[in-house]
Amino acid sequence: MMAKGWNAEKAFPPRRRKEKRHAAPAATYRCRYNVPPNIRAQRAVSNPLRGRRGEPYSPPRRGAKGGEPHDAECSFRIMKLCGDIGGTKALLALTDDEGALHARCRLECADFADFPALLADYLERSGIAPGALAGGCLAVAGPVADDGGSARLTNLPWTLDAGELRRRFGLPALTLINDFAAAALGVTTIGAGSLVTLQAGAPLAQGVKLVVGAGTGLGMAVLVPTAAGWRVLPGEGGHAAFAPADEAQLALWRHLHARHGRVGWEHVVSGMGIAAIHRFLGGADLEPQAIAAAALAASPGAPEGVEQRTLDLFLAAYGAFAGDMALALMARGGVYLAGGIAAKILPLLRSGGFMAAFNAKDGHSELAARMPVHVVTDAELGLKGAAAAIEF
């Protein structure tokens, strides 16, 4: 079931928070526990960045390696939980009333039996006392109930229940939203420095914006301008039927249809799609990261190997999907490629196959070419969007 359109009618103006307050993600995403002292548990905790197990946590000194400068002003701020929960990883942080992020942490979902176990681990590692947080918002990669009270991850057998999480962790309030609703809100908080433009187009200031992204799955959401600000409409276009555009894609469709029955875009345009295409082309059963790395490492001018052909087919399908959705929604405000894959394969996205498929729209190719297309390089987009969704 598709989540009902998540409403940002309480108005998220185009830029409410200062972008500079968000530190750039570390090259290697690690837990950074600069937890404000007013919410730190008064007990010894294990801190992987500073101190040995059993030593009390203390915030990093200004300029200390491995941490962020501690802002004493945070001691007097109300702190809330924000998270971006995907099928592979969970990004968690605390946010204050100005949108600054603290105590960022990435955890692998496969290391935990369920989400409560993962959240308990994060809170313990961070040294956060039970009941110390004032609420929160979690972005979930899957359908969210109309009332925001529960959500089911599409690519992980986890269900999140907001009421249960509130009771267990002493949260006065907790909202669940779709992960691409959060990504869309995140787009309203970032600047040009977090974007790489594939097609400049001719943007309309009040045009609809489409946020789409392949990662573990394939998500999308729409930003619609209103007098009160941006309204966010999450969608499940990734589960629309895959439409082969040539003989190679038709052969892939037949291969996937024999295995799955109905074939959706997500079967092709996702991490699992990269692995499936690679197997279809005769390659070994490899992780998508390994396939992409091999394609990126290929020498220019060398004969195309199975990894390059895999990414060629993947990018053609990705471009066709993004272009179809952009045309359906008249995304004259721009198309933003988020998710876990696009930023990691930028050289391949720039090679031309993606944009050729995006703009191949018969009589409407000229219209498609007027739509700006950007790659979002900010790894914390969903986390910032979840923080933006919180009302203080």
What is d(CA 118, CA 107) in angstroms, rounded to the nearest whole number? Answer: 8
Q: 3-class SS at 80?
A: strand
The answer on 251 and 171 residing in a single domain is no
The answer on 355 and 279 residing in a single domain is yes
Q: 3-class SS at 172?
A: coil
The answer on 139 and 252 residing in a single domain is no
User: What is this structure's pTM?
Assistant: 0.80
The answer on 238 and 325 residing in a single domain is yes
Residue with tokens 């392949």: 214
Q: Amino acid identity, residue 53? A: R
- Pair of tokens at residue 350: 């720039």
What is d(CA 142, CA 144) in angstroms, rounded to the nearest whole number? Answer: 6
Q: For the residues 40-59, what does the mean pLDDT come to? A: 33
**Is pLDDT larger for residue 350 or for residue 99?**
350
Contact status, residue 152 vs residue 142, Cβ threshold 8 Å: yes
Q: Amino acid identity, residue 167? A: R
The answer on 165 and 306 residing in a single domain is no
Share of the chain above pLDDT 70, in %: 80
The answer on 355 and 231 residing in a single domain is yes
43 CB neighbour count, 10 Å cutoff: 10
The answer on 295 and 179 residing in a single domain is no
Residue 4 resides in a domain: no
Share of the chain above pLDDT 90, in %: 70
pLDDT on residue 392: 62
Q: 3-class SS at 300?
A: coil
pLDDT on residue 312: 97
The answer on 209 and 164 residing in a single domain is no
CATH of residue 215's domain is 3.40.367.20
Residue 79 resides in a domain: yes
Domain count, the chain: 2
Tell me the three-class secondary structure of 171-183, residue by residue.
CCCEEEEEHHHHH
Residue 60 resides in a domain: yes
| Distance separating the N- and C-terminal Cα atoms of the chain | 30
Cα-atom radius of gyration of the chain, to the nearest Å?
21
The answer on 179 and 41 residing in a single domain is yes
Find the length of the chain: 392
The answer on 212 and 167 residing in a single domain is no
Contact status, residue 386 vs residue 83, Cβ threshold 8 Å: yes
What is d(CA 35, CA 50) in angstroms, rounded to the nearest whole number? Answer: 13
Residue 192 resides in a domain: no
| pLDDT of 191 over the 50 cut | yes
Residue 5 resides in a domain: no
CATH of residue 168's domain is 3.30.420.40
Could you tell me how many helices (H) and strands (E) the chain has, helices first?
Answer: 11, 13
Residue 105 resides in a domain: yes
Q: For the residues 9-20, what does the mean pLDDT come to? A: 42
Q: For the residues 174-197, what does the mean pLDDT come to? A: 95
The answer on 29 and 130 residing in a single domain is yes
388 φ/ψ angles, rounded to the nearest 5 degrees: -65, -25
- Pair of tokens at residue 199: 């097609």
**Is pLDDT larger for residue 123 or for residue 49?**
123
| pLDDT of 18 over the 50 cut | no
The H or E element that residue 355 is part of is: helix 353-359
250 band by pLDDT with thresholds 50, 70 and 90? very high
Tell me how far the alpha carbon of residue 94 is from its chain's centroid. 17
| pLDDT of 302 over the 70 cut | yes
Q: 3-class SS at 10?
A: coil
pLDDT on residue 300: 80
pLDDT on residue 303: 82
Residue span of the structural domain in which 207 resides:
201-371
Residue 167 resides in a domain: yes
Q: Amino acid identity, residue 207? A: G
Q: Would strands 159-161 and 101-108 be described as parallel, antiparallel, or unpaired?
A: unpaired
The answer on 229 and 97 residing in a single domain is no
20 band by pLDDT with thresholds 50, 70 and 90? very low
Question: pLDDT tens digits, residue range 270-297?
Answer: 999 999 999 999 999 999 999 999 999 9
- Pair of tokens at residue 361: 């729209």
Contact status, residue 150 vs residue 144, Cβ threshold 8 Å: yes
Residue 350 resides in a domain: yes
